[in-house]
Structure formats: structure tokens, C-alpha cells
Structure 1
Amino acid sequence: MEGKTGMTQVAPTETSLDHAAALCARRGAQLTPLRRQVLRLVLEAESPVGAYALLDRLKASRDRAAPPTVYRALDFLVEQGLIHKVERLNAFIGCTDALDHPADCGCDAAHDHPHQFLICGRCGATAEISDAGVAAALARAARQVGFAPRRATVEVEGLCARCAAGPEPAPGAA
């Protein structure tokens, strides 16, 4: 893309992919071409995307791609904190904190940050938030009953702002 200054600008997805590669390299891991391609497909999806939808898209350029190929790449991307699995939807979404964070800052941002998902029950839009207060309240409640949490993902279903502002669907419509 060309900016007003005539300098070439990097597309946001490319920037995120470069950040992901740098983050992996700092951790001694490698964002292989296949992993990068799967991450690109997750980032380019308009909403959380399932493994088989990713496989269908991947087959456009890798006709020999099989479910284990996609699942191994997804497992790596989740392990590296680059994507999250939204259990309610059995789908994957890019981690906004990890991918929007400057790759050269030297920290390990977003690897194990608290995250919560707001899932619209009408249109399926999903937003990731990272509210430390929610995580702290959950940890405090767990400690009160003698539970030691290692990781928590909170998924909240409701209506996004757009759907909440719109008319109610007709009975039986969804």
C-alpha cells in the first residue's frame, strides 16, 4: 500500500505476523511458513474460525493439508499465546495483546495474560478483553474455596452493541 508520503506501508496483518515471528524467535520457537499461514487465516477471519474451516481455506494453497496439519499448527499458536481457543464456539481468534504489542520491546507480553471473551449470541461477534480486575476477582474467589487456578478463560455470552441497538429478532428467527 502507498501512503501519502510515497513510502510503502506494511499491512496490519503483515505487521502482526512479523510481531508473532519475533515473539516466537525470542522464545526459541519458530513460526514456520505453515504456522504463519494458519495464523494469517485466523487473523483474516471476520469472526472466530473453526479448525475445519481453516483446513478448507488452507487447502486452497496446500492441497495435501489434513486435519492433523491444522491442529498441530493451532496447538503451537495457542501454546505461544498468539491465538486463543474460544471454547463456547470451538473456534480460534487472534490474541490482540500479543499481536498488537511491539515485537522489539523485549518483554513477553500477552503469553499468559488474563483474557475474557464477550460473545454475541445473535451475530457471533467476539471481542477479547484483558481485564486484570476480573482475573483477580476470580483468583480471589477460587482461593476462598481452597482452589489454586493455573489458567482461566472467561466467556460471556450476551449481545454486542450493534445487536443490542437493533430490533429484536422475530420469534423462531436466529
Structure 2
Amino acid sequence: MSHDAANNHPRHAHHHDDAKGFVRAVEHASEERGLRLTPLRKEVLELIAAAHKPVKAYDLLDQLREKHGNAAPPTVYRALDFLLENGFIHKLESINAFVSCHHPAEAHQVPFLICDVCSSAQEVCDERVADLIEAQAKALGFRPQAQTLEVHGTCRNCRKG
């Protein structure tokens, strides 16, 4: 969980409950930036948002084939690349899956808490984590180009069960 900087109390970890609202936010951000959110890109985005947990590329491909019959892997990967490059989704490298971004209108690096039991992932919105990593990298003369911090464990719901 993220913490409020002033009193170091938990603030909140994010995950999407409103898939349609998220897609509308991405459409708006795309318009503002002059990006082309094609019907396929939007459909891939909708599938990721509706999943409510990380989804693998081939699961997306299977879902698209159910609707369109002829979706090809390169098509899905191109849509994913567009969504990643523009900060609308995140790729969780350790589980090779994709999740929607809580703040699609702004570029940012965030850590994720990934449950090894139910595969849920929560985006932790606390810029201090990214700032600390950036400062440490700078102190060591290292220029980071990408940053993905993934913390594996067991979520509250799975610990209760």
C-alpha cells in the first residue's frame, strides 16, 4: 500500500472497478495527444480493463478470436505495444501479463503488488518509491529508461481464506 507522506499512514492501492470509465479516460487522453485509438486497440484495452486482473496476450487473442475468428498474434501485439508506449497499460514482466493503468493521462512508473494465489495486481500510487529508485540510480551514475517494480506475495483476501 502507498503511504501519505505527511503522516506515513496507508493511503490506498488502486485497481480498476470502472472499466468503461477507464476506457473513456484513455479515449480522452488519446484525443488530447492526437493519438489514434483504432477499434482494435480500443477492443484490446476494453478486454484488459474488464479482466480486473492481469491478462496474458494469448488470452486476449483467444477472446478476440471468439468475436472475430481471424485475429492474429501480431495484430494483438501491435495493439499492446501502442497501449504500453502511451502509458495506458502496464506489463507485469514477472508474470508476462498486462493490466490497465490507473492514471492513463500521465506518464509514471509505479510498483505493483501481485498476489501469487489469485493473480490480482494492485497499482501502488506513491511517487516516493519511483523517486527513491530514480535518486539512487542517479547517485550511481545510472540513467534508467524503464522501471517496473513487482512485489509478489499474498493479498488480504487470500490470506483470510
- The two structures have a TM-score, normalised by structure 1, of 0.78
Q: Contact 2:23/2:49 (CA < 8 Å) preserved in 1?
A: no
Secondary structure, counterpart of 2:46 in structure 1: helix
Mapped to 2, the partners of 1:16 and 1:149 lie a distance apart of 28
Q: Tell me which of 83, 91, 98 is aligned to 2:97.
A: 91
Instruction: List aligned pairs for 1:91-170, cutoff 5 A.
Output: 91-98=97-104, 109-110=105-106, 112-166=107-161
Show the counterpart of 2:48: 42
Q: Distance in 1 between matches of 2:100 and 2:46?
A: 9
Question: How many percent identity over aligned positions?
Answer: 44
Paired with 2:42 and 2:28, the residues of 1 have a C-alpha distance of 12
| Residues in 2 aligned to 1:12 and 1:142: alpha-carbon distance in whole angstroms | 36
1:129-148 deviation line (CA, Å, top 9, x unaligned): 12111111111211222112
Q: Which runs of 5+ in 2 are unaligned?
A: 1-16
CA distance in 2, matches of 1:38, 1:88: 21
Structure 1 residue identity aligned to 2:72: A
Structure 1: which 5+ residue stretches go unaligned? 1-10, 99-108, 167-174
RMSD (CA atoms): 1.6
- Higher RCO (C-alpha 8 Å, min separation 6): 2
Given that residues 55 and 67 in structure 1 are in contact (C-alpha distance below 8 angstroms), is that contact kept between their aligned partners in structure 2? yes
Preserved contact between residue 61 and residue 76 of structure 2 (Cα < 8 Å)? yes
User: Helix, strand or coil for the counterpart of 2:99?
Assistant: strand
Which has more helix, going by share of residues? 2
* Structure 2 match to 1:172: none
- Distance of 2:29 and 2:77 partners within structure 1: 21
Code of the aligned partner of 1:122: V
1:129-169 Cα shifts (integer Å, max 9, x gaps): 12111111111211222112233111011111112233xxx
Quote the offset at 1:16 in angstroms.
2.0
CA shift, 1:67, in A, is: 0.1
What is the alpha-carbon distance in structure 2 between the residues aligned to residue 49 and residue 155 of structure 1? 15
Matches within 5 A, 1:19-58: 19-58=25-64
